[in-house]
Amino acid sequence: MLSRAPVRLWAAVKRGAICQNESSMTRTPWTAPRRRVVVTAVLHIQRCPTSRRVPNCGQVTGSRVTSLAWTRPSHGTWVLSREDTGVIINRTCKRTDFLRNIGTNIGFTMSVTVQKFNPMSFYYYPMDDPNKEPLELYRPGYLHPVIVGNIIHPDPSSNLNRPADSPTGYRILHKLGHGGESTVWLAQGLENPERVVSLKIFSAHCFSAAEREACALRTSMTSPNAVWAKHITHLLDDFTIRGPNGTHKVHVTDVVMPMKQLLRSRLSAVKKKELVKGLAQGLAHLHRCGIIHGDVHWGNVGCTMPPRFLTASVRNIMRPLKGFYAMTVLPNDPTQQSASLPAYLLSSCDMHSCYEWFGGEDPNVGSEARIFDFGNARDVKDKVDTAEDIRRACAPPEVAFAYYAIGGSGYPPTIEADIWCLGVTIMRIFSNEPVIEGRGIWNLIAYAMLDGVLPKAWREFWETVPSLRAQIDQVTPGNADDKWDQIREGFEEQNPQADDDDLDGLISLLRRMLALDSASRPSMEQVLADPWLADGSLPKTVDASVAVLPKSLQAQP
């Protein structure tokens, strides 16, 4: 599990010595890793003086630092991890910034270890199970190991400003989901065990993302524009915990039904439009508060659970979740069984069945739209140059172009990007199909075909790429019209109860929101003023098939 040769980096290694500047550090080149190998370099820092500002790396404070970690996956910048409350890193920074600035400004004693993950060193390792997080994320600086029944207690020394009446802990009931930054769990408070909540445990290396989310949610809740704030998930509690893999932020919110699961239901066009309007109002509220969400997609939006879920006992809530599906984490070598690893990897529970069980598909149930996952949120005044991740679900065209055409230069989240991503999300809601599939430079063609006009900078870049150059003549307004006609046909097929005028209005709005030129997109205020959302027009009929909940799915007393 530990190796000194799986990553290319100039390692600053000076065991037992005080390094005052970069020149005093010995440099050791290491070879590049093979595929499927995840590498983490961990700096064990044994001494750190008083609080000091470090250029490009944030604030380093306190009298002792246990360890920092940086990681680079297949590509991208090195990401520093916070493993001790003595270190505050408020941004992602390059490895060279870390070595140069900390090595120059702060004397410290350090050593370097490198961890290499080999999936073949475990029995029954699931190579590509979308319902379970990658096992390699359970290592120092990353995910906190959790099992059902664990009680998550806030760390008293790190939560001094927490209200005195806050819950003393939360018991884990099931797993709601996972991502690269966190795992999310269904939990109950110890002081109020009949109320279930969503408990999100951030990866140790995502401390700054957790701080951004908490700041955005607090700003949204305290804003005077309270009417539309209901469409933003509310932060019920937040605190810090310590574990074998580092220090983790924890956020507690209400349980939300994710859109990607909700679309398994046969939602009427009426319900879809109501949800879209709520999402638009929620995003407009964020922009009024000066907040950029930064990662709007169908996995980060959803709706409230049915009212009967909110009043149900924990016993009844657990009934439709269909048990636990787990894979034991068992290394081949018994000496590698460490506290960093969970006892098992658990599949996410079936919240869609729970949603149906408590009457969520009843058209008379008033579920409201919710926007969540604010780990990439930014203040509009924030000038920090943090690039959006091109590898995410569907990056805006300006981000994709910057990545592929300008060598991956940073492109910070913007309001205009939020609007484009909401447009893509609306398309997914009405078609249940992705707008652009896969990732790669070929996606630039799909972006351009939706618009029909190729900007000058795009054309100049396409001329240098043979595969793109051959497609330049295909980007025309006429071909864009044909593409949107195909999209409209897909909408009509998925929403047969919607009338023609309503679909025409939806297509017209989406074409504005998905403009290739970000400056041409409407603001969220203009989106809400669009006739499709503002005039109150809705489909003329409601699909009767969604009006009656099957008896097999009705909640039992």
Per residue in 93-111, pLDDT tens? 334 444 444 444 444 444 4
Regarding whether 37 and 174 lie in a shared domain, the answer is: no
Positive/negative CA dihedral, 172, 177, 178, 179: negative
Nearest to residue 294, comparing CAs of 419, 181, 409?
419
Q: Which of 117, 140, 173 is the last residue of a domain?
A: 117
> Are 299 and 176 in a shared domain?
yes
pLDDT on residue 356: 92
Task: Give the range of the structural domain holding residue 157, as residue numbers without chain letter.
Answer: 151-377+413-435+476-534
Residue 143 pLDDT greater than 70, yes or no = yes
Mean pLDDT confidence for 469-488: 96
Mean pLDDT of 151-174: 89
| Rounded Cα gap, residues 339 and 336, in angstroms | 10
Domain assignment present for 304 = yes
Q: How many domains does the chain have?
A: 2
What confidence tier does 533 reach under pLDDT thresholds 50, 70, 90? very high
pLDDT of residue 158: 78
Establish if 237 belongs to a structural domain: yes
* Band of pLDDT at residue 360, cut at 50, 70 and 90: confident
Residues in the chain: 557
Residue 225 is assigned to a structural domain of this protein: yes
On whether both 233 and 310 belong to a single domain, the answer is yes
pLDDT band, residue 411 (cuts 50/70/90) = confident
pLDDT at 142 over 60: yes
Let me know whether 349 and 231 are in one domain. Answer: yes
Q: Is residue 229 part of a domain?
A: yes
Q: What is the mean pLDDT of the chain?
A: 77
Please tell me which residue, 434 or 77, carries the higher pLDDT value: 434
Residue 301 makes CB contacts below 8 A (sequence gap 6+) with: 258, 259, 279, 369, 370, 371, 372, 425
pLDDT band at 128 (very low <50, low <70, confident <90, very high): low
Confidence of residue 487 (pLDDT cuts 50, 70, 90): very high
* Distance between CA atoms of residues 469 and 461, nearest Å: 9
Q: Hey, how many other C-beta atoms are within 10 angstroms of the C-beta on 242?
A: 18
159-163, 164-168, 343-347, 361-365 — most confident range: 343-347
Residue 127 lies in a domain: no
Q: Which residue has the higher pLDDT, 63 or 479?
A: 479
Task: Please indicate, yes or no, whether residues 349 and 420 belong to a single structural domain of this protein.
Answer: yes
Q: Give the range among 4-18, 160-174, 203-217, 296-310 with minimum mean pLDDT.
A: 4-18
Assess whether pLDDT exceeds 60 at residue 344: yes
If you average pLDDT over residues 376-394, what whole number do you get? 68
What percent of the chain clears pLDDT 90, i.e. is strictly above it? 54
Whether 95 and 234 share a structural domain: no
Q: How confident is the model at residue 129 (pLDDT cuts 50, 70, 90)?
A: confident
For the chain, percent of residues with pLDDT exceeding 70: 71
Residues 107 and 186 in one domain: no
- Looking at this protein, which amino acid is placed at residue 402? A
How many C-beta neighbours within 10 Å does residue 522 have? 17
Convert the pLDDT of each residue in 13-22 to its tens digit: 222 222 322 2
Angle at 282 between CA 133 and CA 502, to 5 degrees: 105
Residues 60 and 184 in one domain: no
Residues 159 and 262 in one domain: yes
Q: Indicate if 269 and 207 belong to the same structural domain.
A: yes
Residue 142 placed within a domain? no
Answer whether residue 453 is part of any domain: no
CATH of the domain at 347: 1.10.510.10
What's the rounded mean pLDDT across residues 132-151? 94
pLDDT in tens, 73-94: 333 333 334 333 333 333 333 3
Per-residue model confidence as pLDDT tens digits over 196-255 = 999 999 999 999 999 999 999 999 988 766 789 999 999 999 999 999 999 999 999 999
Phi/psi of residue 151, nearest 5 degrees: -105, 120
Find the mean pLDDT for residues 412-432.
94
> pLDDT grade, residue 521 (50/70/90)?
very high
| Domain finish residue from 73, 98, 117 | 117
Please check whether residue 540 lies inside any domain of the structure.
Answer: no
User: Distance (Å, rounded) from C-alpha 102 to C-alpha 198?
Assistant: 38
Q: Name the CA dihedral angle for 389, 395, 401, 405, rounded to a multiple of 10 degrees.
A: 40
Q: According to the model, what pLDDT value does residue 224 have?
A: 63
Residues with Cβ within 8 Å of 60's Cβ and at least 6 positions away in sequence, in order, are: 48, 51, 52, 54, 87, 88, 102, 106
Please give the helix or strand (H or E) that residue 236 lies within, else none: strand 235-243
Residues 235 and 107 in one domain: no
**Range 29-34 average pLDDT:** 33
Same domain, 430 and 525: yes
pTM score, whole prediction: 0.77
Q: What is the DSSP letter of 105?
A: H
CA pair distance 255, 309, nearest whole angstrom: 10
